[in-house]
Structure 1
Amino acid sequence: MSSSAQSLGQLEAARSLALGESRYYPTIIPGVLPIIAYNGQGGSIDIWRWGADFLAETFASPAWPLDEKAKSALAALPILRDYLLEVQDSTVIKSAVQAAASIYPLVYRHIIAEPNDTQTWQVMLAIKTNILRRMDGAPPGVRICCVKFVQQVVLVQSPGPIADPRRPEQNDISLTLVPRDHRLIPYANQEAEASGLLDRLLDIVHGDHSDALLITATLNTLGMLIQRRPIVSNKILNSLFNFNPLKLANAPMTSKNKVLMKSIERTTRALLVNVMRRNPDGPFTRQIQQYLDRMHRMRIDVLDESNRKRPAPVEQTDGTDPAKRQRLGPQTVPTPPTPPIPALPAGPVSYRELFTLSTDANTALFDVKMFQDPEQLLRIVVPVLHSIDEAKLTNAINIIRSRYLTLSKAMPRAPPSGAAGATADDDEEYEPDFGPIEDAEQIINKLDSAPPVTTLPERIPDARLAPYKLPEAPPLTEQEVVRYGDMAVRRVVEILASVDEAPTKAKATKAGFNRLAASNYDRDSWVTVLCRLATRASAGLEDPDAGIKSEYGGEVQKGGSLVLSDSIRDAIYNYIIRDWKRRIDIAISWLTEEWYNGQILAQATSNGSMKNGVNGHTPSSLAVNGTYKKSVLRLLDGILAYIEGTDKVLVRFISEIPGLDRDILQRMKKMAEDPERIDLAVMVLKYLYMFRPPVRTICVDVLEDMWRTNDRAKPSAEKILKIWRPEVLREGEEGGDVKAA
């Protein structure tokens, strides 16, 4: 027992190491497999449980590559077979079935590539047969794991879509990858077996609903099948439309049955809602919506308790049947007495006394200052105001209004301006003093000791506000400038993406070369602003010390608007690549601005106006000539990754950009390596030869290079070279004759 515990401790240490760093899996698994292998009845059940759990966890982890995982899976197959055939512990069996579900696609892909590996496939068939035999009579937990395994078998043995025929290693493992004449896994047999297993899953859904966990587990597996295998989605959805999740309503309505029905109904509704969200315009959207509405009505009829109760009998209130029941008179609801409203005290009245209608003295002790956050106070006051009776609120407002009017009439009014002027002029009248004369110091002391004045003021005194000036913001660091610049760029791109790209009505704008670049706020205006910010910033807005040559020959690089320019260029590039077919005009405008900026910089450099004053050095050649070319090549490489042979928009793009050279046109040769895009590459070169005479020599050179190096593109290039450069073909024929001789 101590040796078993010691082994478990070592195994847990290895497991923790693999979980922390997935690259250790290929090293740890070969050392773990001999320890966890089945070695007869004398082995430790704890080791087997740990081993089955470890294999299920390891092969379900997406953290390590599939190629290495497939090699380890082949080594673990015999251990899983022994677990399923020899061990009777349910915990070991459940983990072994889960591990087999993760391993099955890997073994299937191995068998597709190695049709002569009969031994491995026989081991896998033994595991699959044992698991399928357990589906009907095993305990519920084991059956749920078997359902997961069957889902993987149906996924693998059903035809799936091909994402990219040129990269088969990235395609989903499915029956589509199996050759028709495969020796071990015949195509027709595999497809028939997958169809039969799918029928078994659907039979579980339509079977006994007493085991809700098994039903919900099966429904959850159907969601992935609908998403990843469109070829079987019609069959699954048609079966679900005939599915009744409230099947237990015919049984006694116990609390357990209610919980089971709610669980199955919610899982079914979530499955269909997710299907409808992933494809809102699909052919089954209307049927799914109708099924959900019908299921909602059924759920209300079955599970809503309010509709199942008997309504209360209607009592007679007119007294027409005194023999059966006591005469009932009309009921009157007693009106609660209205609490007395306190009268205002004599003398000065404060705001609190004016608005207080309650007789409870404790309300005056409540301090509103305890609410530091105004939002918290609003969350309390607004619901209280909603709960107040409208009639009581109106009555209270009228009482406050009458109080205010009474106080306004009782308060002395200020004398009119005419009377004040007359009093000021009548200075000679005798006015005796009726009290002791107090000096200024006594009056100030009396005012300091007096209580604060809480009476209603007669008027608000006039007060002139003093001038207020905001404090100056601290200077920004270089990192903050770059960050805020990136934020501004992202905001402009978001505005650009939100602008309607549909063609608008023609506006009365000034045309020609003297028009404004951004006369309104449409998409073209924002594009122009972004392009010129990216290009013109490197033509004089950058740090004047940028690009200075040091005395050791190195170039001093400093942060400035060049960083902002690169950020704007990246934003424009990403915006174009997201929908490059519709935004090809933006790409042309951007590259035109880059080319124009390069020409202006080159002209200024040749005139000597761009010298920076340090040893007479001029801006770098990359800033003058390389930015346009770098942008063209980057955008062209991004487009060529997604372009197809029928996308004629590439002809427009190449023909309308202002500058072409050999490096740019060499991309057509690279594109012609794909057989489906040879005609498009030749079409671009032919169009440029016909309509852009300055690059004719380069176009013919690229065609000649394509003819010499690409055998698949040779017939298409030969048709054009026969007209524009026939001597190349004659040289090829002479060389062929010499070789034949």
Structure 2
Amino acid sequence: MSSSAGQLALTAEELAGEVEQAVIGGNPQEALPAVLERTKRAALGDGDGDGDEEKVRSVAVARVFCDALVETLNHSAVSEHEKPLIASQYVRAVVQLRDTVPGHVLLTLSKMYPFLFDFVAKTSQESLWESMCDCKRWAVGRWRDVTGTTDLSQDGNGIGEKLALVKFFAQVTITQTILALEKDDRAKVPPQYQIHLGAVPDDHPIITNKQKLETEAKQLLDLMLSYLIEEPMMVSPLFMGLLNCLASVIKFRPQTTNRVLNGVLKFNVDAKFQLDGVSVPHYKLAKRFVERCYKNFANFGIKNNLIKQSTQYYNKLAKIAQVLHGIGEETKSKGVLAFDHESAQNKISDEQRARCVEQRRKLAKRRQLQRQQEKEAETKQRLTRLQAYTRAKSSTVFLNTSAVALNSSYSAVYSLMNSEHSEQDLSQLPRDVLVKLTTEAMYRADTKRLITALSVVASRYTQLLNKSSGNDVTAEGGNKKRKNESADDDTADTTAPRSKIIKTEPSRDISDTEDAVDDVKETVPYDTPITFTPKPMDDEAKLKVTEKIISKIIKVRDSEDAPVLVLQQQKLETESPLEQVRLLHWNNAESWYHILIRLATRGTRSSRPISDKIRAELLQWLLQDFNGKAAVMVEWMNEEWFADKLFAETEPRYEEWSLRLLDELIPFLENKHRRIFIRLMSELPQLSEKHIERIKPILLDPGRSALGLQTLKFLIMFRNPVKTMIKDLLNQVMEEDATLKEQCRALLEKYYK
């Protein structure tokens, strides 16, 4: 990464840090809106870069802006009455970013939609409602594009955006369905799910067709269920996301339960084929995840009484949950990898693939025709509204002939029949229709009226140009006002802004001390910062302070005090108030090492001795008792790897400390530590030949060779990039230790044919 690109990424990182600080700070209700506005300007502002670097900046900052908006709408400190207003203020900015970061925009819209719906219901803003409808149309179009491809090998791609679409559809379905719950049950529903179609009055001026919106919600629900049933490939993350979102739909809108369950029962996990390029173990694992999610969905509905015992669905889903539980227990007892590869393989045949592709092509043609018809109907509707408006404004004289525009917008400059603008958005009409309207209007226009209209527009342009240059002479009474103010202006010094100047007295002769400060002889801006440079600390002093900080942080883990909003007065006599400081979401057992890891990898990146000191303390703690600490090791190494990528201009640290961790850990490993070692090796973010070579001493140790072979087998199966390195290692071990020849040869023959 170039230095400039690194700087751009750092800018996004700083904005993300501001958002995080605003969330956990002491005054989030004021800090979050301020940070949100800054991130919005950064995401949509004009940068001074060009080419790919500017694109990187806009994407990274756009993601931060979307995250900031979601955090603001999620935060409990922000009033529920303010959230609809905040959502309405930023919806236009979010929509502008939908081609840049579609996934983040969809997740943000799924959070905003109920608040926007509530805002429209209360304020009747037609432009906002049209923007919401446009977002729904765009989302449905995106779904059809990403799920309707004729290349089945692409079905497993773009999972993030597809999951965001599913979440958005689920939220729209919940909002546009009536909340059919008793008052006691409604109190348990989160505020955003309490916003529903039934709260909108029947005579609402904007949300006019409630039946159509409810039908639209059912169509979106059917869209999700159709994918669950008709998708031929095993796309496990999307299937699980769909089942989880459908569970939310039936929880908050119980009247949709029958429709959802009728579709879910048609979902056949066994009929889903293996994705192209996916190994049999991966397919089996993906299928197991979906089966477990299906079982959880059924149990969730039964335990929460969403699936009534009196209905036809109860026994069927209870039986499915029981069967899937039995499959899971059997798999657990035998082991996930204990299966026959030939029988477990489930690849799609050429005939079935051709049939699926043909169905998708026909569906795509049908949708294209439907889109064209919908576009023509929408154009006709817009033209009808425009016709009604022009007939209402038909007059032989212009209603607005003022030579002064209300503001500097184009609509105010060209408006002749209204004070500001007509509120008719012609930009949504097709270009050929606009050309026809324009040429027909010019052909039929009266020449004298056209000249009059152009004269009024020209006068407004002149007035705005004069105003911008400081010579506004068209406004009535403007000349008189300027003459009355000209007396002082002729003698004023206009070389610098008055608000920026401090008036100073004449200098005085101060000769009685050599340290006297001379009077200021020139004008000084009042906002000139006064700075001082503290005496820098030497390296030894920095290390001592670092040791104290580490000691304080680690000491907190042994504390039994829970985080509180008010200091405990009885302890103030024996310890400093700073000793009681905690984050409200602090966990004594875990939070301290999260902070130390971040300090080592990012916070003290510029000082190698300090960061290495923190790393050494972490390593020492991990080695004292490494049972149950595999997750901490993986978290630390992931942060090291990510920091190397983030601060590419600095010296990399990941490889050095990951190898040091293995060197310190491996001598203490035994066969009983199989789970810890396999997890560590499989989840390290990057493996090199040096990492693989660290397993060699384990292989050559007769008492631990099984541990090394099991680890290598797991890496061969699930980390394909290291297969070549492992092959070389196995060949070396066969040459050095004859007792391992048979076991090594078995691995080579099975996985390296």
TM-score range, shorter chain: 0.3 to 0.5
Compare CA radii of gyration and give the structure with the larger one.
Answer: 1
Normalised to the residue count of structure 2, the TM-score between the two structures is 0.37
Normalised to the residue count of structure 1, the TM-score between the two structures is 0.37
Higher relative contact order (CA 8 A, sep 6+): 2
